[in-house]
Amino acid sequence: MAKNSGTESPSTVNAPADEVCWPLDLPTRYLTSNFMEYRGGRYHAGLDLKTQSREGFAVRAVEDGYIARLRCTPTAYGRVVYLRGDSGRTFVFAHLQRFNDDLRQRVRLNQEASGKYRTSLYFQADEIRVRKGDVLGLSGQSGTGGPHLHFEVRDRNQRPMDPQALGFAVSDDRAPVIHSLRAWPASSGARVFGQEGEWLCAADGGQGRQGDLGLQGDLGALAVSGPVAFSARIVEATDVAGHKLEPWLIELRLDGDVVYRCANEVFAFDENAQQRLEWTDAADWTDKGVPREHWLHRRAAVTLPGREGDLWYLGDDGQGLAAGLHHLELRARDRAGNTAAVRWQMLVTEQMPAADKISAPEKSRWRKAPLGVRFSRRADLALTPFFSAGDPAAQGLARLMFTPGQDPVLEPLEMWAGLSAGRPVGVDVARGQGLRSVGRQARFLAADWPVGSSLPVVWPDTIAAPGKGRRLGLYRWQKKGQWGFVESVAPGAATEVHLEDPGIHGIFQDVEGPVLQSNDQVLAVNPAPQRAVPGVTLPRWTSTPLAAFDAGCGLDTGSLACTLDGGRLIVEPDPPRDRVLVHWPDEMAPGKHELVVTVKDRAGNAARKTYGILCAE
């Protein structure tokens, strides 16, 4: 059973709603994301509150306290305020468009001194006192892909807790939806209906489309031999918009006993990597958008609070459940108590008849699904999250084994790796991204990825030295059909690279500089709309977005430098929208001005442009 660390959790400390102030000045309260959702190797640490696809709503202190920290970054939280409440909790308000006047002045002075946009300021207790309801800033979209307020509640140990259990709940009368269940043979000899491979029970293909009511009631029986594990696609929604959220509780019962329980209560940031042990992406190897799924068992390295269970499917002897008929029930519940449930049975036999002598019942809702990872049409070569079959050397691949003692591996990992055969992928795409290939591409294949951070491996070929002044980079072929930069690499033999995920990788040199917006027209700057917001002085001039991006290794946002009429001007990098935002100084006079922008990419290629500005009252 998972250990429950610490003393405070949402289940034990519930703040009544009338003791706090809602953090956002909006009459409606809707979520686009909730607590501990999947976030690619980490958990979502709070709630994302909808702001009607707009910026500029007042963000308020939820209780009395003091400002502990301010930060500005091009990505991640963007502009963010950390409020240490008198309760001892920390409240986080992220992606702001603008700080209040006091906070903005402190940030401005720091940026002017450093010459950089990126800022991180810490303050002493009670240095900046605020009262419940005070305006801290305006909601925005800094550092992220669209307007919303990211809001967190952390305990005294800086562990995020579920805000919905602490007085910040939204109305919710919709139950979670169980879209699909997947049965996984967990050993090379395990069979379902006498066959190798996975079986899927899905509503609407398991994609989780809006309006899909999901699986309900009794799903029928599976005939199995050997250990068989399960994963599920479960989605929570709180309103008609149908944003795909995470249920608070997932619980699996076997013959009436709870064998797995996942309750999203609280976590520490150094536990983020455990998320890779709770989800599987292996079903997505077809590149056809099959959603990730949640395991219905607890792996040994998962020690998060709210997690219970073990590898129950192995049975007492590791060979599977005892022979006979077993009853399973899966329940998913949200914070409001809305519940979804499905039931199914497993008839376990010690020796499964041959596949041609047994099949799923004619009206069964279970269907055959692909088996893990396949190569060509070789049915004898497979890699699954539980076992491998066949000899990968037949496809020119080496078998690499990693154990938990090898940081950052959390649980045993098998990977197949080698140089790609045949025509390389994405050749024309790479050219369009300004990338020049250096050597052959390599495949790093894994059906499971229990890795806490970047995994060090040796590149399976000698990396040739680039031209003078050029830098090399490791890139991964992404499902959206382009190369994504991973890290800079050095030439040579037996070069160590660091993988963020499995897949096809290549070594490239970025030979083209960043792209800046055309300067063939004068940029018009107009007065900004004015309205009254307590504690916040709105800007005199509208901000100007300028396109700025690098399709290869990406911008080095720290290299961004601007001058206005020869004097330094701090501008905001906005990578999520491939642009920079120019916030004009209030003291800028009407008339003509000159703006100069320079920036480099992460390979050192530079771009520079001069813009004519016409500022009109």
pLDDT in tens, 481-503: 999 999 999 999 999 999 999 99
Query: Residue 405 is encoded by which pair of tokens?
Result: 């003692």
Q: How many domains does the chain have?
A: 4
Of 206, 231, 227, 429, whose CA–CA distance to 330 is shortest? 231
The per-residue pLDDT for 20 is 83
How far, CA to CA in Å, does 437 sit from each of 481, 509, 512? 16, 7, 13
Please give the average per-residue pLDDT across 552-571, as a whole number: 97
Within this chain, do residues 521 and 503 fall inside the same structural domain, yes or no? no
Asked whether residue 199 carries a pLDDT value surpassing 50, the answer given is: yes
Cα separation, 536 vs 137, whole angstroms:
7
Question: Phi and psi dihedrals of 20, rounded to 5?
Answer: -125, 165
Distance of CA 136 to the CA centre of its chain: 27
The per-residue pLDDT for 617 is 80
Within this chain, do residues 189 and 330 fall inside the same structural domain, yes or no? yes
Which residues touch 341 (CB under 8 Å, ≥6 apart)? 178, 329, 330, 331, 332
Within this chain, do residues 334 and 436 fall inside the same structural domain, yes or no? no
Which residues touch 73 (CB under 8 Å, ≥6 apart)? 80, 118, 143
Strand ranges, E, within 117-198: 119-122, 129-130, 135-139, 148-154, 160-161, 177-185, 191-192
Q: C-alpha angle 249/9/238, rounded to 5°?
A: 40
Please give the average per-residue pLDDT across 309-316, as a whole number: 98
Residue 119 lies in a domain: yes
Asked whether residue 229 carries a pLDDT value surpassing 70, the answer given is: yes
Cβ atoms of 219 and 303 closer than 8 Å: no
Tell me what the pLDDT averaged over the chain comes to: 91
Cβ atoms of 507 and 489 closer than 8 Å: yes
Confidence category of residue 213, pLDDT binned at 50, 70, 90: confident
**CATH code of 552's domain:** 2.60.40.1220
Residue 335 lies in a domain: yes
Confidence category of residue 211, pLDDT binned at 50, 70, 90: low
The residue among 474, 508, 542 that closes a domain is 508
Which burial class, exposed, middle or buried, applies to 68 when counting CB atoms under 10 A from its CB (0-12, 13-18, 19+)? buried
Within this chain, do residues 330 and 457 fall inside the same structural domain, yes or no? no
Within this chain, do residues 123 and 211 fall inside the same structural domain, yes or no? no
Cα separation, 372 vs 374, whole angstroms:
7
Residue 194 lies in a domain: yes
The per-residue pLDDT for 4 is 44
Q: Which residues constitute the domain of residue 59? A: 29-163
Cβ atoms of 155 and 161 closer than 8 Å: yes
Residue 399's DSSP bridge partners are: 416
Top pLDDT among 19 and 64 is at 64
pTM: 0.93
Q: C-alpha angle 378/397/291, rounded to 5°?
A: 65
Cα separation, 304 vs 318, whole angstroms:
24
- Looking at the chain, the whole-number percentage of residues with pLDDT higher than 70 is 90
Within this chain, do residues 495 and 528 fall inside the same structural domain, yes or no? no
Residue 17 lies in a domain: no
Within this chain, do residues 123 and 260 fall inside the same structural domain, yes or no? no
The per-residue pLDDT for 5 is 43
The residue among 163, 192, 207 that closes a domain is 163
pLDDT in tens, 580-617: 999 999 999 999 999 999 999 999 999 999 999 999 98
Peptide bond into 408 cis (omega under 30): yes
Within this chain, do residues 342 and 461 fall inside the same structural domain, yes or no? no
Within this chain, do residues 546 and 587 fall inside the same structural domain, yes or no? yes
Asked whether residue 445 carries a pLDDT value surpassing 70, the answer given is: yes
Q: Identity (one letter) of the amino acid at 580?
A: V
Residue 444 lies in a domain: yes
Asked whether residue 12 carries a pLDDT value surpassing 60, the answer given is: no
Within this chain, do residues 340 and 470 fall inside the same structural domain, yes or no? no
How far, CA to CA in Å, does 611 sit from each of 434, 520, 557? 25, 8, 20
Q: C-alpha angle 452/455/458, rounded to 5°?
A: 170
Cα separation, 166 vs 12, whole angstroms:
10
Q: How many CB atoms lie within 10 A of CB 148?
A: 26
Query: Residue 444 is encoded by which pair of tokens?
Result: 């790093």
Asked whether residue 208 carries a pLDDT value surpassing 80, the answer given is: no
Asked whether residue 2 carries a pLDDT value surpassing 50, the answer given is: no
Asked whether residue 16 carries a pLDDT value surpassing 50, the answer given is: no
Asked whether residue 564 carries a pLDDT value surpassing 60, the answer given is: yes
Cβ atoms of 119 and 109 closer than 8 Å: no
